Chains A and B, each alone.
Chain A
Amino acid sequence: MSEDAEIVQEFLVESHENLDQLDRDLVELEQSPGSRELLSSIFRAIHTIKGTSGFLAFHRLETLTHVGENLLSRLRDGELTMTETTAEVLLRMVDTVRALLDLIESTMSDEGDSVDVEPVVEAIVAVLEGDEDVPGITAHDPAAEVTLVHHDAEPVAEPVAEPVVEPVVEADLPQAPQPVATQPVATQAEAAEVAPVAEAAPADPVPAPVPVPVPVVDLDEDPAGEGNGRRSVVDSSVRVDVDLLDSLVQMVGELVLTRNQILQKVDSLADSDLGRATQRLNLVASELQEGVMKTRMQPIGQVWAKMPRIVRDLAHQLGRKVNLEMDGHDTELDRSLLEALKGPLTHLVRNALDHGLEPPEDRVARGKPAEGRLVLRAYHESGQVVVEISDDGRGIDIDRVGAIAVERGVISADQLRRMEPREIQSLIFRPGFSTATEVTNVSGRGVGMDVVRTNIERIGGSVDISSQQGSGTTCRVRIPLTLAIIPALLVGEADERYAIPQANLVELVRVDGEERARSVQTLAGAPVLRLRGHLLPLVSLAGALDVEADESDSLTIVVLQADDVRFGLTVREVHDTQEIVVKPIGRQLKGLGIYAGATIMGDGRVSLILDVAGLAQAHGVDVTAATAATEAKTSSDDQAALLVLEASPGRRAALPLKAISRLEEFPVAAVERTGVTEVVQYRDGILPLVRLAPAIGLVEGGGEREQLSVIVHEHGDRRIGIVIDRVLDVVETTITRSDVGRRPGVLGSAVVQEHVTDLVDLDAVVAMAGIGA
């Protein structure tokens, strides 16, 4: 109900604006009768009101505007010419429309005896039929007019009071008094606006025929006639140019920065008066910022308002029965984000209907109610807006998704085998993936989930999907509240500060002296960090910016996440986090791809905001090392990242990098035995060891060693350590497997970096170890 009320509210605001324009146009039209431009403008205004009133089922308003529109279109097309009678009839129509709108505002319905529509309709029809001698048009009824003037003029004398809360609707008005009770109704301003129009008529020196059908509002029934001034919807809101709002946001941003600057300075001065004044400035600036940001906020209900219709039409088209539930429609977010959210959200809803919900008969067969549930929820969570789209449909069939992904070449069968169900589910976000078996009218038009994801990520959001096969799917979209001011981490490099959006920040890691040598390694020139058992590719900010790197013993690493890629950015120093105002950079710099914008610091200097995804891309991080680091992203096509090693001196072997979670070294002395198995104590547990060389039919290299190089492989929840001679390299390559050299523990061989290399059959090696992993 409240949503309907909101739609009606918007309709009223819009219609009143249209009518104001209409009044001006009509008056102008009298000066230049037959101006097609003016007639078109009037026509459009009435047409808009007609359209919406039909949609909102205000039938009397629709009937009235419909005939009015007919008349206007004939005038516009030159089939009829403007006469005084026509002008009069049109003005009456506008007045009646206004009266109907007032009625709707107070009762949520256009039904009611207080406004007489039929005579106006008749008069218009008469004019349409070319009858200049319209019955009633010439008949002057001063009584009716006086009533109008009286009614509308009366509140003028009354002081405008605060909004009234008691129900103002009489019992004979049919619909919904509740929303009205809380809604402010007509006002002094409005009354004043109408009154002169009515008064002007008798004062008109030209004895213009004054038509009968004046909208007569009965005083007894008139809610506004009580003398209680109320703010109507028209006066309680103001339309403001978005550019003006944007510039306000900008200026407030500046103010906030200046405040920060002052706060910094004041801290170092011991002036208590200045301190207090600054405190106030601080408070006011914060509130101002909040307030201005709010002006750009709009409820998500605006997007949702369209959903019932979309869902209804789609359900009809697809033969589904759907019960749509919407929750949290007053959740607010920045209007630019709202705009950007429209498309993806609609697409997700379509998807849920098309792919999620089953036809009623299937549902019944599965013991579900024939009517499917589609739930849209929106809420705020830790500074973000979360929008959930969930259905109780068939869920995602991961086998099918996997099969299709392989078939379409999104991933290889090998990659699929190693994927977690959750990872398989998120394959639907990959480009080139679409499960629609046929191209339907609804989804599967080449605009896939990947586009949804791209669009959401473009506004700094994320989307993930969780699904229980057979019982439903939930899509969760997270978006920031606003884009203009963001929290950011400031880092220092080569005497400049750079801002990193907090949204990309995972953690900060500092590696000192000795530890550095142990945990940071270089694989084929690419540094990686061992971080809690995972390999994290490292990118040097100095290198990325091509500035002189700072040589020191310790390493400060900012762990960043962008899209699916996680990497560590080594920086010279970390400052603090700050709210920054994002400002665009010029076209001369956008193309670089490594800056997302710029901001102005407290000291007035410009600092660049790093584009984390762009940095990763510039380094090609997303293709290779990240694969090892997160295992979330699989490399594309047949390209495989391989860890090339020597199983025994001079004997090259390769393992998929994905299968390796860590590289460790253990002192030989740490090796213990249980039964025939060699083990080491490792991370509060026991790590069984397999020596790779014998497992793949080679002789282990002799020689005394103090350290064992071990590859830790995780298999389900078990770990196994594979003892190798040494790591040679990590390569990303397309391998052509040959059966040459195939034997237990070896899948075959391939040429990697111009050397024949055994491809280790990891499963077999693990099995051979007899550990039962």
Chain B
Amino acid sequence: MTTTAQPTLERVQAAEQYCTFWVDGLFFGVAVMDVQEVLRYHDMTVVPRAPESVHGLINLRGQIVTAIDLRTRLGLPPRAPGELPMNVVFRSRDETVSLLVDDIGDVIDTSGHVLEPAPVTLPGAVRSVLHGVLPLPDSILLVIDPDRAADVVAEPVSIGGNQ
């Protein structure tokens, strides 16, 4: 199950199968080759002072996985209380990251469809993590670039108690 990310160029051309999931009614996909595994909700350790979209740390068979809530990351409204997110786990820049999503869809084959640039009208936060969009017959798949989705920057903590 441990597949590593292919170089971007190759992926853009070769990726035809996508692991799909829903976040706030939006239909997203990550190239199947990038995904390590999909997990149910997992207990996690909260990281105080972490960037808002970092939901916590998961122990995945001894590996520390940073869980990023895609809703927060994309500036979407928070999940309803009591609704547990699912984990889409992948490797990004030599680290293991999990994206918290609402629900998991099928793995779909998109051969024959051409990846188009994300429409400029999409919110910046969403557009910034997308490779592009795939207009499928009955839906539009937003193709996520996992590396960019996982690029969350933390500012140094400064409490400055004595300043």
Contact = CB atoms under 8 A, between A and B. Distances in A.
- Are A and B physically bound partners? yes
B48 interface: yes
B161 A525 contact: yes
Interface of B: 43-51, 54, 56-59, 62-64, 66, 68, 93, 95-97, 150-163
B157 A585 contact: no
A14 interface: no
Contact of A606 (B59, B68, B152): B59
Contact of A620 (B57, B59, B93, B160): B160
Given A592-B157, A623-B162, A250 B66 contact: no
A650 interface: no
Pairs of residues from A and B, 10 with the lowest C-beta to C-beta distance, nearest first: A545-B48, A591-B154, A586-B66, A606-B45, A588-B152, A606-B57, A618-B157, A254-B62, A593-B156, A592-B154
A178 interface: no
A544 B159 CA distance: 7
A593 B154 CA distance: 9
Contacts of B154: 588-592
B161 A539 contact: yes
8 contacts: A584-B95, A587-B95, A588-B151, A588-B153, A591-B153, A604-B59, A606-B64, A608-B47
Given A586-B66, A600-B62, A605-B59, A592 B162 contact: no
A537 B161 CA distance: 10
B91 to A, nearest CB: 11
Main secondary structure of the interface of A (DSSP, over half): mixed
A199 interface: no
Given A496-B46, A587-B95, A592-B49, A543 B161 contact: yes
Contacts of A524: 162
B149 to A, nearest CB: 11
A591 B50 CA distance: 9
B62 to A, nearest CB: 4
B162 A589 contact: no
Nearest to B53: A588
Contacts of B46: 496
A595 interface: yes
A692 B67 CA distance: 60
A606 B58 contact: yes
B162 A588 contact: no
A400 interface: no
Nearest to B50: A589
Q: Chain A interface: which size bin?
A: 35 or more
B156 A598 contact: no
Nearest to A543: B159
B39 to A, nearest CB: 15
A587 B62 CA distance: 18
Interface string A624-636: 1100000000000
A537 B162 contact: yes
Nearest to A618: B157
A547 interface: yes
A60 B57 CA distance: 62
A594 B45 CA distance: 16
Given A583-B63, A592-B156, A732-B162, 5 more contacts: A254-B62, A585-B66, A598-B45, A606-B59, A618-B157
A27 interface: no
Contacts of A123: none
Contact of A600 (B48, B64, B68, B157): B64
A546 B48 contact: yes
A57 interface: no
A607 interface: yes
A619 interface: yes
A621 interface: yes
Contacts of A594: 49, 157
B65 to A, nearest CB: 8
A526 interface: yes
Contacts of A614: 157
A546 B51 CA distance: 13
Given A537-B162, A545-B48, A620-B162, A591 B156 contact: yes
B50 A588 contact: yes
A606 B47 CA distance: 10
A625 B158 contact: no
A453 B91 CA distance: 35
Most buried by B among A251, A588, A608, A614: A588
